[in-house]
Structure 1
Amino acid sequence: GDGSYTPEIVVDGAASMVGSDRGEVGSAIENAKRQGRNAAAVNVTKNGEQVSIEVGAGSGSGRILLIGFDHEHTTAIGRGENGGRTLTEANVVRSIRSIGQWSGAALRLNEHFPEGQDVAILLEAPDGRIIGAARLGLAGST
């Protein structure tokens, strides 16, 4: 590669998304929720410029990741074989930040809204599995 670092997301130890494939973050969250492996209920709501994150009581522990992403991100390609074209990707992750640790007790956090149009919260177990997830639906919903 060109030496740039690409973060990776592993959801439920199964789906691993790298680089531009992180458009799959939305479906990965949905899959993790559907498979019912959540150790705890995770909730995220928008509160002005802040997001309010709630993690319920449960078993296990993990770190809480705040993810900001865009529904659609268009990049103009300036040069190279695709010069002049635009590249459109869906659910592009703009930022990932660890905002705290969860150790089984219910907790509530308030964080500044991250870079991106939409927000997802992932609860990541020490082994990297995602054991809880929620996303804030801004587009077309209240």
Structure 2
Amino acid sequence: MLFPRTALALALALAAVPAAGQSQPKAAGEPRTVVELFTSQGCASCPPADALLGELAKEPQVLALTLAVDYWDYVGWKDTLALHGHSLRQKAYADQRPDRKVFTPQMVVDGTLVAKGSDRAAVQRALLAARSSGGLAVPLDVKRDGDTLEVALPETDLPGASSGHAGAELWACPIARSQTVAIGRGENGGRNVTYSNVVRGWVRVAPWQGRAAHFRVALKDLHRDGADSVALLLQEGTPTAPGRILGAAVLSLD
């Protein structure tokens, strides 16, 4: 039985409350949870998950991202938003887990917790578990300076030091806040599906080892494929061995 929307809203509210001993992030609207949905226009069971991610995307404490994969393209419709790198990222996540399962729709919360993307109850449990584990530990101070994006990170003991990750990496992801696609063929042929916070690329900003640091990114590198915002992700590990997401922020490019 799926939990009603009010239960999911309650889970989001609880996830926004800092765990004992956890400091408040600097900005009230700074995301405290990151949800990645691996989805495909060719997957018949994905539209309910796409709609659920749309609900999550409206919550200021949640950075909800759509990562369209390309391994469903063989069914007769090439996903117009897919990036092959998303398929590789999903597999890299799976390689870090004992189950090694790759499927759509699949949500990954804070880089470590997995849920079936259309299962509200499972998503709720993952959000609550993320909160109980401390949530995002590193605040990102992000601002625009003319044609440049500036990101400041504080000095922090890397939480991943005990989990085998030698450090973390800061990524800037151009995103399109809303894109509606008329799907012409395949399992969803004839449907119009709206996707929220669609990731249109990945820009590696810099590695990070826990020391106070300041980084700059040229905005011209982030304007691509209809992107109107940018998501910043600070994540343990590497693209081939991703770990826990330590911090996140989102900024409009308008």
**TM-score of the superposed pair, with normalisation by structure 1:** 0.69
Structure 1: how far apart are the matches of 2:116 and 2:202? 13
Higher relative contact order (CA 8 A, sep 6+): 1
RMSD: 3.3
Q: 2:233 aligns with which of 89, 108, 122?
A: 122
1:93 aligns with 2:204: no
Q: Secondary structure at the match of 2:243?
A: coil
1:58 aligns with 2:152: no
Q: 2:173 aligns with which of 38, 45, 67?
A: 67
1:13 aligns with 2:124: no
- Which of the two has greater helix per residue? 2
Ranges in structure 1 where 5+ consecutive residues have no aligned partner: 19-27
Instruction: Say if 1:51 and 1:15 are closer, same or farther in 2 by CA, change over 3 A.
Output: farther
Equivalent position amino acid for 1:13 in 2:
T
Q: 1:77 aligns with which of 183, 188, 193?
A: 183
1:79 offset after TM fit, Å?
Answer: 3.8
- Which of the two has greater strand per residue? 1
1:123 offset after TM fit, Å?
Answer: 0.9
Q: 2:249 aligns with which of 122, 134, 138?
A: 134
The alignment of Structure 1 onto Structure 2 pairs a total of residues equal to: 127
Q: Secondary structure at the match of 1:121?
A: strand
Identity %: 29
Structure 2: how far apart are the matches of 1:90 and 1:98? 22
Map Cα deviations across residues 62-81 of structure 1 (whole Å, 9 max, x no partner): 11111111110122323446
Ranges in structure 2 where 5+ consecutive residues have no aligned partner: 1-70, 75-82, 94-107, 118-126, 159-166
Structure 2: how far apart are the matches of 1:17 and 1:98? 28
